[in-house]
Chain A
């Protein structure tokens, strides 16, 4: 099969199946054919780049030349940014083929949305059960990968936007270290929190994509200048033999929903059989939800102040999102800066854990995906505001990890009693992506959860 035939096949799938999940923002068929034609010529010349000719989708938060970039929001439905985001340009140089811009929660949900319907493309539908949500804000990216309508996708995370849809849809998602992947050409919701990362069917696929998109970029002042290279087989074997895993049993025992509990327990047990070096370690008790909400609330409302105070603001879909964006304009500098200075405590807390352990293992999400029509605050289901209990364990790992800028990998570990996916997450020190990916890859070599596919 040629790259052009493959591109046509995936564009057809995106058109036919992707739209069932409300996963597609724009089909980029013409661009896909052009890129695939170049890939075919390279393949003929025995070019062996691993992503050469492979179609993919990018969250509609990333600019792509020649296509609309709507940020999932009606006020931007006609926006065209005539340049490629760095991550898309880098994938182009790796020979990958952009087949679609993928749906997302409007403005990546920066005002705090109340319903899965908060998107220009409608509610993200989960390929495992289309009456359930695909998660947000990288809704289309996760649904498209889970539904098999793209081999991989790009998503983004400010706090939970790769993790939650990866867990809900049963795909492997990587939230890279802050600064590893350029954000040039990506919608800014939070200058100090946003990250771009791959979502794929396997850790090995995600690793190939991360290798292509990571690295220095003169157009992004926050770029760390570091690259990503996976561990070679020998280094991986050596690292995995002695790996120490921090875990808090209450993450499952106290927090898992009845539907998710058994599969999460089984996933943890499988992981422990492979990597028995478990130690108990928990994050310090800090107001992670208020911190992350204040940081992205203040930064996001400043970024979108012109929209919020302009004529098109009311076009946004979600009433709670609009109320949140307006209210966030009044966050005091005092409180924003207090949240920012407290981030050092979060960083110190992770450093302390990483003296005893190499990585932290927890649930991806403690619940399975919620029904499409269910409000996200009844009961609260956002990753940034886990329920308060006597034993918080590491359930605040998503906001805490984002505040500290450390990387995470989310990967499936089975299915809840309702047939919806559940998954685990691993978090490591800054720039520990090689170890995180090696661990998830080893887990996937010994299990088959990531090979399961929803019925067409």
Chain B
């Protein structure tokens, strides 16, 4: 058995299951999308590019 070191995350066993993480990651993408879609941009006055540094 691999020895547990002090660098090993204490909660890894319970919270790092790949399926759970995959679900959380997909939900984060969806949550971000929902937040972005709430923002209204008036297209009549929109500048002619999406990004200008």
Name the CB-closest residue of B to A347. Answer: B52
The answer to whether A294 and B9 have CB atoms under 8 Å apart is no
The answer to whether A343 and B51 have CB atoms under 8 Å apart is yes
The answer to whether A375 and B25 have CB atoms under 8 Å apart is no
The answer to whether A286 and B39 have CB atoms under 8 Å apart is yes
The answer to whether A327 and B36 have CB atoms under 8 Å apart is no
Contact with B along A364-404 (1 / 0, CB 8 A): 00000000111100100000000000000000000000000
* Chain A residues packing against B (C-beta within 8 Å): 111-112, 114-115, 117, 122-123, 131, 177-179, 192, 222, 224, 286-287, 289-291, 293-294, 297, 319-320, 322-324, 326-328, 330-332, 335, 337-345, 347, 372-375, 378, 405, 430
B18, B28, B39: the one within 8 Å of A287 (CB): B39
Shortest C-beta distance, B25 to chain A (Å), equals 4
Tell which of B7, B12, B29 has the most Cβ of chain A within 10 Å: B29
Q: Number of B residues whose C-beta is below 8 Å from A?
A: 32
Indicate whether A324 sits within 8 Å of B28 (C-beta atoms), given known contacts A179-B53, A287-B39, A335-B36: yes
Indicate whether A338 sits within 8 Å of B6 (C-beta atoms), given known contacts A178-B53, A290-B32: no
Name the CB-closest residue of B to A117. Answer: B7
The answer to whether A320 and B25 have CB atoms under 8 Å apart is yes
> Does B44 sit at the interface, judged by CB under 8 A?
no
The answer to whether A341 and B25 have CB atoms under 8 Å apart is no
Shortest C-beta distance, A156 to chain B (Å), equals 16
Name the CB-closest residue of B to A131. Answer: B6
Name the CB-closest residue of A to B21. Answer: A323
**Could you list 18 examples of A-B contacts with CB < 8 Å?**
A286-B39, A287-B38, A290-B32, A293-B28, A294-B32, A294-B36, A319-B16, A322-B18, A322-B21, A327-B22, A331-B33, A338-B36, A342-B41, A343-B51, A345-B39, A373-B6, A373-B7, A373-B9
The answer to whether A338 and B39 have CB atoms under 8 Å apart is yes
Which residues 2-53 of B sit at the A interface, judged by CB distance below 8 A?
Answer: 6-12, 15-16, 18, 21-22, 24-26, 28-29, 31-33, 35-39, 41, 46-47, 50-53
